[in-house]
Structure 1
Amino acid sequence: MDFMNLLKSVEALLYEVVSWLVFYPLTLWRCLRHPLRMMEEVQSELAQPPQEQFADGLSPPIFLFLTIVIAHGIDLGFSSKTVALGGIFADPRNLLIFRAVSFSLLPLLLAVQAVRAPGQRLTRTSLRPPFYSQCLIAAPFILSLDLAMTAGHGRSETAFWLGCAIFLGGLVWYLAVLTEWFAIDRATRRHWAFGRALLSVLVGALVLLGVLLLVALSLGLARLD
């Protein structure tokens, strides 16, 4: 009986992983073409039974995590040399988890802002829909950022400018989507919406930079010990 349950678990896991090969590019394409529509559909998807949620795509947190995994794999494949890290980051799996959590801070900050702005109570239930929505549009931007850094590892001038073009393309797309979202969600003018979008990205970048500095400092102190 236990063996049959194990086989069913393996069957479900294998199907889920293989289905990502189909639904990941579909979800990415839909996010790029209709980001606001995808964000609006999150609330209705979460209202359905768990087994029926996101039936024609990926759950936004899984979509974001898979994006980071793909970017991490590309970075490892194209980097000519890797940086030796100590402590818990000596294990590549821990490094991947750290990257996933760090890059999730940006959608988390925007989700908290979305809940607190209209005066709602911040709970796990109220935070989930905006966090899921922000994960959807953060994934393409994070992918462009990671691909830009990967291209920056190249020593040629072409690789440098290619990385700049990828980053700027992703940033412009992300700011445009956030501007539209702020304009609709807060019923504000576009120039104010753009300012809020730009400020949110800058704050997220500063928080991420702060986390990286703290980690670098802790690793440096650990090596001194």
Structure 2
Amino acid sequence: MDFMNLLRSAELLLYEVVSWLVFYPLTLWRCIRRPTDMIAYAEQELTRPPEVQFADALSPPIFLFLTLVIAHMLQSGVFHNAAVFQGVLSDQRNLLILRAVAFSLFPLLLGIQHVRLAGLVLSRQTLRPMFYAQCYVTVPFVLVLDLSIMLASAPLPGSGPGALALFVIGLGWYAVALARGFMIHRNVSQLRAIGQTALAILLGAICFTATIALSLLSGPVSVGG
């Protein structure tokens, strides 16, 4: 009986992992094309029974984590410029966890803003749908940011200006998506939406930088070439 349960668990796990090959690009395309629709989608899905949630897309936290795993694999396997830490972060699993926490600060701060603008009391129940929704919007920006960093460190002609242009495009897309999300889903004015967007990006950048800086306390870092 235990062996059969193990086989069923392996069957479900294998199907789930393989299905990511289909639903990851589909989810990414939907997030890039209609980010505000994905905000509504995430919030609505969490009102449904757990077994039928996100049936036609990846769960937002899994989507964000898979993006970081893909970026990490590209950085170390293709560009060969992965950072090598000493101490706790010398383990690549710990480094991935750190990256996941650092990048999750953006949807977390945005989720708190949406809870406040919706006039709700901040709690684990009210924050979760807002956090999930903002994960969808944040993933394309995270992917562009990682690609910009890789391109900037690549020994290619014009890689620096190309990386800067890619980052500016990604940041512009992110800012527009966030502002539209505030206007459509929280019913705020355009001016206030721009202010909330600027505040979110600024606070997210500060918290992200602080998290990375604190991680460097675990030991020196070098970049593999």
- Range of TM-score over shorter length: over 0.9
Aligned to 1:40: 40
2:89–2:218 CA contact under 8 A, matched in 1: no
Give the structure-2-normalised TM-score. 0.92
Q: Cα distance, 1:147 vs. partner?
A: 0.5
Whole-angstrom distance in 1 between the partners of 2:106 and 2:66 = 16
Question: Aligned residue pairs: how many?
Answer: 220
Identity over the aligned pairs, expressed in percent?
Answer: 50
Aligned to 1:92: 92
The one-character-per-residue Cα deviations of 1:97-151 (angstroms, maximum 9, x if unpaired) are 1111111011001111211234422111111110000000000000000010011
Aligned to 2:196: 196
Whole-angstrom distance in 2 between the partners of 1:198 and 1:157 = 33
Residues 178 and 142 from structure 1, CA distance in 2 versus in 1: closer, same or farther, beyond 3 angstroms? same
CA-based RMSD of the aligned residues comes to: 1.5
Gaps (5+ residues) in structure 1? 221-225
Whole-angstrom distance in 1 between the partners of 2:43 and 2:161 = 39
Tell which has more relative contact order, 1 or 2 (C-alpha 8 A, sep 6+): 2
1:78–1:150 CA contact under 8 A, matched in 2: no
Q: Cα distance, 1:43 vs. partner?
A: 2.3
Aligned to 1:112: 112
Give the structure-1-normalised TM-score. 0.92
Whole-angstrom distance in 2 between the partners of 1:44 and 1:105 = 22
SS at match of 1:104: helix
Whole-angstrom distance in 2 between the partners of 1:211 and 1:43 = 28
Q: Cα distance, 1:157 vs. partner?
A: 3.7
Aligned to 1:71: 71
Q: Cα distance, 1:48 vs. partner?
A: 1.2
1:32–1:140 CA contact under 8 A, matched in 2: yes
Instruction: Write the mapping of 1:118-133 to structure 2, written as runs, cut at 5 A.
Output: 118-133=118-133
Whole-angstrom distance in 2 between the partners of 1:8 and 1:156 = 48
Residues 181 and 216 from structure 1, CA distance in 2 versus in 1: closer, same or farther, beyond 3 angstroms? same
Q: Cα distance, 1:81 vs. partner?
A: 4.0
SS at match of 1:84: strand
Moved over 6 A (4+): none
Aligned to 1:10: 10
Whole-angstrom distance in 2 between the partners of 1:88 and 1:180 = 40
